[in-house]
Amino acid sequence: MNMRFVALNLLMCVVAGAVLAFFTPTRWVAASLWIFAVLFITNAAAIYDNGLSGGFDNLDGESPPPYVKGIGAVIFWLKSLAISMGAVLAGLFVQFDP
C-alpha cells in the first residue's frame, strides 16, 4: 500500500469535509466520512471496470483479475460496500449524536 496515496486521500477528504461543513450545518467529521464513502465506492467501480475485458488490467481479455468473475467479484463488492456503508453510518452517528 502506498502510504503517500493514503495520506493524500485522507487529506482530500478532511479538507473537502471542512469546506462542506463551513457552508452547511454538517459536522466536518461526518462530511469527511461521507466524502470518503463516495470516493471509495467510485474507486471500486473504476477498479472493477479496469479488470473487465479491454480494461487497463485486462487488455487482451484473456486473463481477468480474480475480482472480476465469480466469487471473487462477490467478495470484492461485498467488501467495498461494507467499507462504504460503514463510513456512511459512522458519519450519520457523528452528525446526529445526541
What confidence tens digit (pLDDT) does each residue in 6-48 have?
888 889 999 999 999 999 999 999 999 999 999 999 989 998 9
In 52-69, alpha helices (H):
none
Q: What is the tally of structural domains in the chain? A: 1
DSSP lists the bridge partners of residue 58 as: 55
Instruction: Categorize the per-residue pLDDT at 5 as very low, low, confident or very high, splitting at 50, 70 and 90.
Output: confident
What confidence tens digit (pLDDT) does each residue in 59-93 have?
888 888 888 989 999 999 999 999 999 999 999 99
CB 69 within 8 A of CB 76: no
| Owning domain of residue 49 | 3-95
Give one word for 97, left, alpha or beta, with left for phi > 0 and alpha for psi -120 to 50.
beta
Q: Is residue 98 predicted with pLDDT exceeding 80?
A: no
Query: Exposed, middle or buried, 73 (CB in 10 Å: 0-12/13-18/19+)?
Result: middle
